[in-house]
Amino acid sequence: MINTIIPLVYVAAAASFILALKWLSAVQTARRGVIGGVLGMALAVGGTLLKPEIVSYHWIAVAFVLGAIVGVPMAMMPMTAVPQRTALSHAFGALAAALVGTAEYYLRTPKIDVLTMAGLAVEVLLGFLTFTASLMAFGKLQEILPTRPITYRGQNFVNLTLLGLAAVSGVVLVAAPERTWLFPVFGALSLVFGVLFIIPIGGADMPTVISLLNSYAGLSACAMGFVLDNHLLIIAGALDGSSGLILSIIMCRAMNRSFANVLFGAFGQVHASAAGAEDRIVRSATPEEAAPILANAGLVIVVPGYGMAVAQAQHKVRELFDTLTKLGVEVRFAIHPVAGRMPGHMNVLLAEADIPYDRMFAMDEINSDFAQADVALVIGANDVTNPGARHDKSSPIYGMPILDVDRARTVMVIKRGMSPGFAGIDNELYYLDRTLMVFGDAKAVVGSLVKEIAAANGMH
């Protein structure tokens, strides 16, 4: 009876995962997608716990408690820390796959067939490198480590050599699994490569890196499914791996860059061109001066960026949205695919603040509207609004699709100072005649704008 129920539970779990991915692809159905994914995982875990091979639940119970002790605080992290939490999730998932692969290797050796050993090699290689790479990504996102690229001469050669040695070690183990002394070397090479893989990558490329690590973790789980003969693991891992890869490709296209450039280009070094920025004229305004411009606009397009996340200003942005809407101002939100530090970062923050889904627009949907906008309000976004991407062939972001904020009648930029973004270059937008710089913390500035507008219009 149990052996009949478990496959049915696994089929239901697989269907839930597939539907969850479909629902998560649209803002309007994203909440349903999250619920579908949680349901699928609950079915997967429940079905596995029904297996007759389990003779004792004691250690499983201990693992549940330890997992809860780690997982609950992670779940309570603020929404602004979603990228870091995602990186940690990838790290834990990949480590679990690598440890299961390690245990299976030592349990089955020397009676291990070639196909199983090949699956184990892929599982352990991807699992360990994803574990350390994800921890490094977490460190950069949390700013425990430098967010800029850390480079040295011959770095790509060293990294590729290390990866090659790990791959060769895996091939040797597939051919001769009994060489148990080589397995720790294989694991160590994978772990070290994960560290060196991330350090030359700058903060601007984190959306792509997060997607890619998601893909690696999924592929590691897929390989584990082949080793354990678990069809659900194969399906879930393949879904995770393929969706992560597709998302990485979308991120690269959004930046008009290749995978090779993201992984080996050390993007994010500060360029000398930014040094002469102080010689150019900047028009600045106080919140008191900027508030009437917003209040008298017909259409305001808000462009959120990483600065909004750092300042945790999303709830103040919601207050500004409500205040302007009450005055009859139409407010829309323009979201660049790589704004923030992970795919969908800005959507998550705005959704947390209960910004209506139908007010959020992707770059391709809203770019043509900037020419009709009275105000483009840029809150902490930098490189994704730089007009230099269109014409400056010497710029590292040349050719990258950007939000056309410079075509609005007035551009209002909320920013702490004039420092360049993660691409390490100066933003031409800040020196246009139609641009007003409102300097300060995004949360404080937006709060002041709300107060000024409300006071001037008798709103309480």
pTM value is: 0.79
Residues of the chain with pLDDT under 50: 267-268, 270-277
> What phi, psi does 361 have (nearest 5°)?
-130, 140
The whole-number pLDDT of residue 202 equals 72
Q: Is 359 exposed, middle or buried (0-12, 13-18, 19+ CB in 10 A)?
A: middle
Domain 274-456 belongs to what topology?
Answer: Rossmann fold (3.40.50)
What's the pLDDT at 172?
96
Buried b (16+ CB within 10 A) or exposed e, 212-229: bbbbbbbbbbbbbbbbbe
Q: What is the pLDDT of residue 154?
A: 87
Residue 273: predicted pLDDT: 47
CB burial of 410-433 (b: ≥16 within 10 Å; e: otherwise) equals bbbbbbeebebbbbbbbbbbbeee
Vertex 238 angle, CA 236 and 242, to 5°: 125
Domain boundaries of the chain, sorted by first residue: 1-52, 81-269, 274-456
- Nearest-angstrom CA–CA distance, 430 and 423: 16
CA 389 and chain centroid, separation: 22
* Active-site annotation, residues: 383
What are the structure tokens assigned to 295, written together?
Answer: 């209040």
Q: Quote the pLDDT of residue 379.
A: 95
Please report, for residues 268, 296, 432, the alpha-carbon distance to residue 271 in angstroms, rounded to integers and kept in the order given: 9, 39, 21
At 297, list the tokens.
């606009």
